[in-house]
A and B are shown apart, each in its own frame.
Chain A
Amino acid sequence: MSRYKKTFQNLSFLKEGCFVPFVVIGDPSLETSLKIIETLIESGADALELGIPFSDPLADGPTIQNASLRSLSKKNTFLKCFEVIKNIRNKYLNLPIGILLYANLIYNYGIKNFYDKCFQSGIDSVLIADVPIEEYSYFYKIANRYDIDSIFICPPDADNIFLSKLSLYAKGYIYLLSRSGVTGIEKEIISLSNVFINRVKKYNSLPLLQGFGIGNAIQIQRSLLSGTNGVICGSAIINIIEKNLNKEQKMIDEIKNFAVKLKKATKFVQS
């Protein structure tokens, strides 16, 4: 059974939502990044979504873009990012680990080499931010050969044709977008309608994780109430990193408190 499957089964048994934090590897440095990731895990992360830094992350807002640029400014290489992942995998054998990156990094490394590297590093899933389902077939074929789950984005205005296509391709979980646009937290509390979630569930039996704009406990509870299985939270965590660039201990403490609060919100009993 895959790590995702096991995790979602356990959470369902406990009646908890899944809390998935997202950070960019190497932000603000490889050493601190590793500490941040471990803090997130120890504070309750049920799975990880890790960003591989890219120079032109056009699906991301300024917060994640700056995190990528900070990481790249430290000369963190693609391969060093995989070393960090391998390190975490060796320590946390059952934790699902997904990576998010942009197509050119994969294409440049060689698609087959890339998925082989993912397999060797203990990665469970790959989300390619600038490859829609329509362009995915070649990546998909090789990902399957290495038993790596391909994660797809489901927009909030997805039609039935797309949902049906998604049901043929998606593995691991489905990344539900709260809204259109790029990543980043917003003041307004975004919730998806139960009608929409039920429509997605008609086509897909995979767990649904809501991402984009998630930054507090109320949003998490609303997401779970609308019928999702959990949330992905990135920019809000990266904001803490950005605010405390020169104060590592304060950064770690704040991330810890924040993660604990978010995980607690997923224990909200679903009606």
Chain B
Amino acid sequence: MTLLNPYFGKFGGMYVPQILMPALYQLEKNFVDAKKDPNFQKKFFDFLKNYAGRPTPLTLCNNLTKGTKTRIYLKREDLLHGGAHKTNQVLGQAMLAVKMKKKEIIAETGAGQHGVAAAIACALFNLKCKIYMGYKDIKRQSPNVFRMKLMGAEVISVENGSGTLKDACNEALRDWSRNYQKSHYMIGTAAGPHPYPTIVKEFQKMIGEEAKKQILEQENRLPDAIIACVGGGSNAIGIFSDFIDEKVNLIGVEPAGKGIETGKHGAPLTHGRTGIYFGMKSHLMQSQEGQIEKSWSVSAGLDFPSVGPEHSWLNSINRAKYVSVTDIEALEAFQILSKKEGIIPALESSHALAYALKLMYLYPKKEQVFIVNLSGRGDKDIFTVREILNKQEQKNESL
């Protein structure tokens, strides 16, 4: 019997091979104990403050919004140590691993941000670190691969399947089913079997708590909308968490990739259907037969065919709205923020920003306050973007 409810409405659950159930029970028990343990909490918040650099600022974009009545604030998770919100929850999970006396961490990564965060936490807590990464992602995120190795992690290239995050997730789960007695599987997003979605939310909820306090200080009111990108959904659930019971629009932005109509996207919430995969019941990109489909996004971190179960639930009860933004729109937002505000956003976060800009341009005369969760910085993406822009330039010249 689980100690916590494994379901969000009809979504969630623990759909794993039987062999992994004791490991999930052990994790849940230690998580519940840790939540009640003031020493654990004190230590966690001390790491967040004095190691990771919390609280992160809330930055008003004055140049970007000039000539409109929209005020866009950025929750600056890009300024967190490691360059993304991922650092928050890996510190919590690494502490849980130590509490469970596990010596090794298994992790998967797409964009490499979770891989970097896992490597950071493992170096800090002196844990062995194995990171599974699709061979395609290794190619498109080479700076992050180098960072992980520099911090002592072993990066394992996953050659089978589509060679992206989905295959890295499968491979990590396989490794864990063999080594659960000595290893902790550090899932990087608010997805997977219970208790992961709950744990990841708990260790990311400070994003929302801080943002609420900061916006009340700066605006003296709550925002009209919180906008965050959604791959697995950890940054989004983190910033949404403290606003779920408030009158604030929650908007999750999925990658429409090359366009929904092309089938090359990563938008299971808006263009998938309920299924069972990666240990959970949630929205899925799947064929008519129920085979898992390959996702696509210019942003490796959003290139996942499913989504955390709480997002599926929030969607089903209409508490949050989910939309999608194409690669091109995200690339434009990436460049605009860089030029106008001197902030290079992660391609993931650029999706959220692109949707905020859409709303701003649509209603320029409307007084509206948005918080966009800038979940990470874009240094890792500059080579991808440079390549795309160079190709575009060459194409334009040949016309």
Contacts and interface: CB of A to CB of B under 8 A. Distances in A.
A47 to B, nearest CB: 21
Given A62-B160, A104-B276, A182-B177, A109 B290 contact: yes
B67 interface: no
A181 B274 CA distance: 28
A135 interface: yes
Contacts of A77: 289
B22 A104 contact: no
Given A58-B170, A61-B174, A181-B178, A107 B18 contact: no
B178 A132 contact: no
A108 B177 contact: no
Contact of B289 (A105, A153, A177): A105
Contact of B177 (A103, A152, A157, A181): A181
B173 interface: yes
A228 interface: no
A108 B17 contact: no
A129 interface: yes
Contacts of A155: 18-19, 22
Contacts, number: 94
Nearest to A65: B160
Interface in A115-145: 129-135
Interface string A145-179: 00000001111010100000000000000000100
Interface string B283-295: 0101001111000
A58 B278 CA distance: 8
A91 B279 CA distance: 38
B294 to A, nearest CB: 9
A180 B183 CA distance: 13
Contact of A59 (B17, B180, B286, B292): B17
B312 to A, nearest CB: 14
A81 B258 CA distance: 34
B282 to A, nearest CB: 11
Contacts of A130: 15-17, 276, 279
B13 interface: yes
Contacts of A153: 17-19
A82 interface: no
B13 to A, nearest CB: 6
Contact of B22 (A78, A102, A157, A181): A157
A129 B19 CA distance: 10
Interface in B172-208: 173-174, 177-181
A104 B292 contact: yes
Nearest to B171: A58
A238 to B, nearest CB: 15
B17 A56 contact: no
A59 to B, nearest CB: 4
A205 interface: no
Contacts of A10: none
Contacts of B170: 56, 58
Interface in B1-35: 2, 13-22
B275 interface: yes
B114 to A, nearest CB: 19
Interface string B130-164: 00000000000000000000000000000011000
Nearest to B21: A132
A61 B289 CA distance: 23
A180 B22 CA distance: 12
A69 B19 CA distance: 24
Nearest to A133: B18
A72 interface: yes
A252 to B, nearest CB: 27
Interface string A64-75: 011001001000
B15 A59 contact: no
B277 A56 contact: yes
Most chain B beta carbons < 10 A, residue from A61, A62, A182: A182
Most chain A beta carbons < 10 A, residue from B17, B174, B178: B17
B181 to A, nearest CB: 8
A61 B274 CA distance: 26
Given A65-B160, A153-B17, 6 more contacts: A104-B277, A105-B290, A107-B281, A130-B15, A130-B16, A134-B14
22 contacts: A54-B291, A55-B292, A56-B166, A59-B17, A59-B177, A61-B174, A65-B160, A103-B276, A104-B284, A105-B290, A107-B290, A108-B290, A132-B18, A153-B18, A153-B19, A155-B19, A155-B22, A180-B19, A180-B178, A182-B174, A182-B177, A182-B178
Interface of B: 2, 13-22, 160-161, 166, 170, 173-174, 177-181, 274-279, 281, 284, 286, 289-292
A-B complex: 4 closest residue pairs judged by Cβ atoms? A108-B290, A181-B178, A55-B291, A103-B276
